[in-house]
Amino acid sequence: MSKTASVRVPASSANLGPGFDVLALALDLHLEVEARESPKTTIEWNGEGVGELPLNRRNLIVRAAQEPFAGWSRPLDGVELRVQNGVPIGRGLGSSASAIVAGIILGARLRGLRMSAQRVLELAVPLEGHGDNLAAALYGGFCVAAVEDGGVRVHRLDWPARWRAVVFVPDEVSPTHEARRLVPRRPAREDAVFNLGRVAEWILACAHHDRSLLRSAMDDRLHQPGRARAYPYLDDAIAAAEQAGALGAALSGAGGSVIAIADRNVKPVGDAMARAAARHQRPGRVLILNAVARGPRL
């Protein structure tokens, strides 16, 4: 009888304003995958992403179960996957990172390999291209992903229990590679300095549970001004969230979701963001989420 393995990986919101490719928060939406080695690859997919993704060897979970192991471990003939996905696809909530982490963990278990979170991260970065969402998916909590010699070193902070993530998720898909083209390759020095200060405030806010710092800590001059051209509702949604009582708000990852942090008035904050987006003819839904304190569960 062939070996089976299963894993549950959280979603994540990266950048959180100023922390471009550095900051990320694990959220309680999950990708759940059960895998079995099989003579051929088959995928049964339920939940978010039905009809949006390839159900063959090009699927990112399958690629992650195969490609990072090439040249040093045996290939799998195929994999049979049963997927229950709660992570919206292509909307800035770390769906690709969740898929890559799930695929590598399952690929290792089907081969009988034991693998640390750091080793999974090392294998995952070439597929994802950046470490922020991967860090949160693997370690949970509020993560700082520090690039070092082509690799990523992760620092994790505990998230204040009262802070909730209120996320406006647009109906429209926004591929990450398109949103990345809107980020300036050479930011102005004053904008880089501005963001460095805000990232420091984020760390202080989280470490000291200081809600008063978040509005400033979630401000950004590096990537959101450019991406606002793709998401014309962004600035209005952030302002509406703050006026409704959010502690701060920002674009989630490369978008187009918008994440607000709130410890009260969570429903009014979400409703305000949805109304702001609707004024720009961008319908969507609101998710009220907790942070996740740990990464994958086997």
Compute mean pLDDT per 10 residues along the chain, 298 residues long, and list them. Answer: 89 98 97 97 97 95 97 95 97 97 98 96 95 97 92 95 97 74 89 98 97 98 94 97 98 95 97 98 98 94
The answer to pTM > 0.85 is yes
Distance CA 8, CA 220 (A): 32
Does residue 297 lie within any of the structural domains?
Answer: no
Does residue 149 lie within any of the structural domains?
Answer: yes
Residue 20 sits in a domain of what CATH number?
3.30.230.10
Domain count for the chain: 2
Residue 87 pLDDT: 98
- Same domain for 48 and 179, yes or no, is no
Domain boundary among 113, 128, 157: 157
Does residue 49 lie within any of the structural domains?
Answer: yes
- Same domain for 43 and 171, yes or no, is no
- Same domain for 35 and 142, yes or no, is yes
Other Cβ atoms less than 10 A from the Cβ of 90: the count is 21
Residue 154 pLDDT: 97
- Same domain for 73 and 185, yes or no, is no
- CB-based contact 110:37 (threshold 8 Å): yes
Residue 80 pLDDT: 97
- Same domain for 153 and 12, yes or no, is yes
- Same domain for 148 and 10, yes or no, is yes
> Distance from first CA to last CA of the chain, Å, rounded?
20
Domain boundary among 136, 157, 178: 157
For residue 226, give the nearest of 249, 248, 251, 243 by alpha carbon.
Answer: 251
- Same domain for 132 and 185, yes or no, is no
Does residue 96 lie within any of the structural domains?
Answer: yes
Residue 183 pLDDT: 85
Determine the structural domain holding residue 214 and report its residue range.
Answer: 164-289
For residue 75, what is the enclosing H or E element?
A: none
- CB-based contact 223:233 (threshold 8 Å): no
